[in-house]
Amino acid sequence: MSEESILTDEFLRQLINVGEADILVGVPTYNNAATIGHVVQTIRAGLLKYFPRERAVIVNADGGSRDQTPDLVRGASINDAQVSADIHALRTLHSISAQYPGEPATGTALRTILASAELLRASACAVVSPDSTTIEPDWIERLLRPVYQGTYDFVTPLYRRHKFDGLLIRNLVYPMTRAFYCKRVKEPYASEFAFSGQLGNHFLGQEIWTQEAGRTGTEISFTISAITGGYRLAQTFLGTKPHLDARSADLIAAMRQTVGALFWSLEPNFQLWSTHADSQNVPTLAPGQEVTLEPLRVNRKRLLGMFHSGVAELEPVLKQILSPPIVSELQRIATLGEDEFSYGDELWARTVYEFAASYHKSVISRDHIVQALAPLYRGRAFTFLVENRDSSGEEIEQNVENFCLTCERLKPSLVELWNGRK
């Protein structure tokens, strides 16, 4: 499908009315009526406050919402925003909204936004999640300014999170992306990010769109594409990561979007990741406090119980995916009680690498491989929760750093598994 054909006639008509733009902010939506009004108002406020002279447009790519989300986007005006009265637009701030064809999917929404940016020749673009209830106008400035100035091509966020929030990111997605692609991007699966028009066009031209990774998990594929394409990366602190709703807490969906897309990316980029060794830092433009420590009520026992039952019930599946020593070790730790249980860094890293190699070799259905990792991740999450029960923010960061170094150290074992030498 060409870039033009992904845009419906209605979308094209609205884009043609805009003409050209310097800055584009994309908001992918699907039934987000509860939050979208505030998000769009804040984006408008941010654009008017920090980019009053630039031609800016807000593009809402909607997946066919039935709760009047597009109407709320179109209706959100600066008058509703709680910003200072001295904000005046020097140019028209366009806000367009249209439904993209096909089923609701974040990948299709992102593709629509990229195609719009290409058509409008936008030099700096940002994508903002419709669930970002904690968004502030200065998020727009922090994300877009480095790209608009031409200093960087891709800006990812850093969030203030609870120390136990984003466990999958801390225990798998960040360390593994860093080990594979040698860039320390802490939020490789970002819900808010900014990119140059050049990078947007580069990603739009990738052959990802006919694959599953072009439908779900496209955000992490975008990050990987920016790294492998040699684009200039930066990170910027935004603020508190909004607590997501129950749908976002769906572990299997989260694993498909992140782990599935990450494993999938290894295939076309083998030459690159197999030859790179040490990771490099990514500049942080606006540092801030990243870990909060409020007490949380978490059912750790349930996590461990699901790990135990997963290892026992999935034995035939795990034997197809993992090597006998890893299966034996998992079965051994599955016999341990709550006090002695530990799913250590090295075993967890080796487990994930063997899953990645089995995914590459398609030993069983690839989606089943990703799903089979979920019970093991729960065991790892239990260990992380227990070991960091009393840890400070710095200690948590140090523990994550240690795990990242373990992943980097063990990376050659994945190359051996990949080439079938083990």
Partner 1 sequence: MREMIVNELSQATQELIREFARFLPRLMVMLIVVLVGWVIAYLVKWILRSILRLIKFDKLSEGAGAAQLLNKAALPSSTELVSRFAFWLAWLGFVLLGISALGILGMQEYVTRFFVFLPRLIVAVFFLFFGLLAASFFSRAALLWAVNTDMPSPRLLSSSVRILITIFTASAVFEELGLADSTMLLAFAIVMGAVMLGLAIAFGIGGQHLARRFLEARFAPEKKEGKEREDELSPL
Q: Does residue 153 sit in helix, strand or coil? A: coil
* Burial annotation 396-406 (CB, 10 A radius, 16+ → b, else e): bbebbeebbeb
CB of 363 to partner 1, least distance (A): 8
Q: Token pair for residue 60?
A: 């809402």
Q: Determine which residue in the list 331, 365, 402, 419 makes contact with partner 1, applying CB under 8 A.
A: 365
Window contacting partner 1 (CB under 8 A); options: 77-85, 263-271, 368-376, 407-415:
368-376
Q: Which of residues 149-178 bind partner 1 (CB under 8 A)?
A: 164-169
Q: Are 242 and 156 in contact (CB under 8 A)?
A: no
Q: Determine which residue in the list 96, 119, 125, 314 makes contact with partner 1, applying CB under 8 A.
A: 314
Q: Does 252 bind partner 1 (CB under 8 A)?
A: yes
Q: Does 299 bind partner 1 (CB under 8 A)?
A: yes
Q: Determine which residue in the list 26, 107, 310, 379 makes contact with partner 1, applying CB under 8 A.
A: 310
Those residues whose C-beta lies under 8 Å from the C-beta of residue 125, and which sit 6 or more positions away, are 23, 24, 25, 26, 113, 114, 117, 147, 194, 195, 196, 197, 200
Angle at 64 between CA 60 and CA 69, to 5 degrees: 55
Q: Does 368 bind partner 1 (CB under 8 A)?
A: yes
Q: Does 371 bind partner 1 (CB under 8 A)?
A: yes
Q: Does 306 bind partner 1 (CB under 8 A)?
A: yes
Q: Select 249 or 293, whichever has its Cβ closest to partner 1.
A: 249
Binding track, positions 345-364, relative to partner 1; x by CB under 8 A: -----------------xxx
CB of 379 to partner 1, least distance (A): 13
Rounded distance between C-alpha atoms, residue 307 and residue 372, angstroms: 11
Instruction: List contacts with partner 1 (CB under 8 A).
Output: 164-169, 189, 243-244, 246, 248-249, 251-252, 254-255, 257-258, 296-299, 302, 305-306, 309-310, 313-314, 317, 362-365, 368, 371-372, 374-375, 381
